[in-house]
Homo-oligomer: A and B are copies of this chain.
Amino acid sequence: MTERGLLIVFSGPSGVGKGTVRKEIFESSDNKFEYSVSMTTRPQRPGEVDGVDYFFRTREEFEELIRQGQMLEYAEYVGNYYGTPLTYVNETLDKGIDVFLEIEVQGALQVKQKVPDGVFIFLTPPDLEELKDRLVGRGTDSEEVIRQRIERAKEEIALMREYDYAVVNDHVPLAAERVKRIIEAEHYRVDRVIGRYDEMIREQVTAR
């Protein structure tokens, strides 16, 4: 029987740089996990590609998938839906391949309810001032949206306790490397690998 892949949930407050760190992780050739592209109803930004950065869908299409139970998690955030389609995740995990989700905090907590043995990694800003600078500097949102994001980010940092790991995004390549090491280490956890040793342990029992 193939060992099931790990579900890796990478999250953190808005503006912390989740997307940048995720891209850095996937640019290196030695990663063995697959990225689950999220679905959103927010407008496509310049340079973003449908099916690569997100699946861009209408509210009607998104709400239909929710009704059909086809979303592993979803959240409405600053007026837009974000979510993870379920089918791809399950099929990939069943093949024994790790799946990497980069999602918002609300969504991550939903996944934790459904998949408690996932690996929950929280990306943190070095401090709140830097986070504010990044949200302003991105220049894609109105002042009101930025204010909402900062308030939300503060609330989200308080939810770090619900995660397994916290990684500081002080330097993108370092943060990416830390995440990769966490994922590798998780593969050595006894509760994940104990099945492989059943035979050796049985041999012990019958030999006495």
Chain A interface (Cβ within 8 Å of chain B)?
121-122, 124, 127-128, 151, 154-155, 157-158, 160-161, 163-167, 178, 181-182, 184-186, 188-190, 193-194, 197, 200-201, 203-205, 207
Contact = CB atoms under 8 A, between A and B. Distances in A.
A197 B160 contact: yes
Contacts of A188: 121, 165-167, 178, 182
Given A181-B184, A184-B181, A190 B163 contact: yes
Contacts of A205: 158
A128 B200 contact: yes
Copies per complex? Answer: 2
Contact of A164 (B128, B178, B190, B201): B190
Given A197-B160, A200-B157, A204-B154, A185 B181 contact: yes
Nearest to A165: B188
Contacts of A185: 165, 178, 181-182, 184-186
B207 A122 contact: no
Contact of A204 (B155, B167, B182, B189): B155
Question: Which 5 pairs across A and B sit closest by C-beta, in order of nearness?
Answer: A185-B185, A154-B204, A165-B188, A182-B185, A158-B201
A165 B190 contact: yes
A204 B158 contact: yes
27 contacts: A121-B188, A122-B190, A127-B200, A128-B203, A151-B207, A154-B200, A154-B204, A154-B207, A155-B204, A157-B201, A158-B201, A158-B204, A160-B197, A160-B201, A161-B194, A164-B189, A164-B190, A165-B185, A165-B188, A165-B189, A166-B189, A166-B193, A167-B188, A181-B181, A181-B184, A182-B185, A185-B186
